[in-house]
Amino acid sequence: MLDPLSVPDRQLLLTPHQAAEALQISERKLWSMKASGEIPYVLLGRSVRYPRADLQQWIDERKTGGVR
């Protein structure tokens, strides 16, 4: 499994495979979330990429419990 922290910081965009592994979900689930507009993504031609910073913000916005 890909450790999201192991992806170099300079890599701004994640492939669907990298994003799914970082989020610990299947690529099929990631595709479904993208299709429904639930998760941020970028289209580069026909290629789908997931902005690293936007994914972190998306996660932060959904945190529950504990101190923010």
What the block records as the tokens of 34 is 């993208």
Does residue 66 form part of some domain?
A: no
Does residue 55 form part of some domain?
A: yes
Query: In terms of DSSP H, where are the helices of 1-68?
Result: 16-23, 27-35, 52-62
pLDDT (tens digit per residue) in 10-32: 789 999 999 999 999 999 999 99
Task: Tell whether the torsion through CA atoms of 39, 42, 22 and 27 is positive or negative.
Answer: positive
Report the percent of the chain where pLDDT is more than 70: 84
- Indicate if the pLDDT at residue 1 is higher than 50: no
pLDDT of residue 66: 72
The total of structural domains in the chain comes to 1
Does residue 4 form part of some domain?
A: no
Please give the residue range of the domain that contains residue 30. 12-61
Report the percent of the chain where pLDDT is more than 90: 75
Does residue 5 form part of some domain?
A: no
Does residue 47 form part of some domain?
A: yes
Does residue 32 form part of some domain?
A: yes
| 11 residue type, one letter | Q
Does residue 2 form part of some domain?
A: no
